[in-house]
C-alpha cells in the first residue's frame, strides 16, 4: 500500500469518531527497514495500519501511542539494537530509528 494512504486513513478514522495517533519515522541510522517519513496509524483500542519498522517495534509504539492519545502530549521515541538478555524492544537488524508520535486532535 502506498505510504501516503495512511494520512487519508487517519482523517477517515478521526471522522468516524475514533481517537487516533500518528507515528512517523523521523530519523534512521544503519540498516533500519523503513525510511524517514514512514507512518503508523494507531487508535485508542490499539488497532494499527502502516509501519515504522519491519514489525520489530510496532508493538511498543502502539502502547506509547495509546498514552499519547490519553495525555494529548507528543513523544519522541528512540529505538536501537535489540538486547535479547534485557528483553528490551529494538531492531534485530542492528539499525536505529527515531519515531515521533502525535495525537490527531
Partner 1 sequence: MKVETLERLNRARQAGHPSLLITDIKNGDQSIVIGKQWSGSIPESIILNDNAARILREDRARTVESDGRQFFIQPFNPPLRLIVVGAVHISQALVPMAALAGYAVTVIDPRRGFANDERFPNVTLLDAWPDEGLSELAPDARTAVVTLTHDPKLDDPALDVALRSDAFYIAALGSKRTHAARLERLATLGHDQAALDRIHGPAGLALGAVSPAEIAVSVLAQMTQVLRRRDNTA
- Interaction of residue 67 with partner 1, rule CB under 8 A: no
Which pairs count as long-range contacts for 60-69, CB under 8 Å and 24+ apart, including other chains? 60/89, 61/23, 61/99, 61/101, 64/23, 64/101, 65/21, 65/23, 65/40, 65/101, 66/21, 66/42, 68/21, 68/101, 68/102, 68/103, 69/19, 69/20, 69/21, 69/42, 69/43, 69/44, 69/103
81 binds partner 1 (CB under 8 A): no
- Minimum CB distance to partner 1 smaller for 82 or for 98: 98
Closest approach of Cβ 2 to partner 1, in Å?
Answer: 4
Residue 26 near partner 1 by CB under 8 A: yes
Is residue 30 involved in binding partner 1 (CB under 8 A)?
no
Asked if 37 is part of the footprint of partner 1 (rule: CB under 8 A), the reply reads yes
Amino acid at each position: 500500500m502506498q505510504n501516503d494512504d495512511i494520512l487519508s486513513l487517519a482523517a477517515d478514522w478521526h471522522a468516524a469518531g475514533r481517537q487516533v495517533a500518528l507515528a512517523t519515522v523521523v530519523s534512521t541510522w544503519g540498516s533500519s527497514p523503513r525510511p524517514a517519513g514512514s507512518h503508523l496509524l494507531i487508535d485508542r483500542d490499539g488497532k494499527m495500519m502502516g509501519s515504522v519498522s519491519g514489525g520489530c517495534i510496532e508493538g511498543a509504539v502502539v502502547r506509547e501511542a495509546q498514552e499519547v492519545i490519553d495525555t494529548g502530549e507528543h513523544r519522541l521515541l528512540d529505538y536501537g539494537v535489540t538486547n535479547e538478555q534485557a528483553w528490551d524492544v529494538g531492531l534485530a537488524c542492528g539499525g536505529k530509528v527515531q519515531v515521533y508520535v502525535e495525537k490527531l486532535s
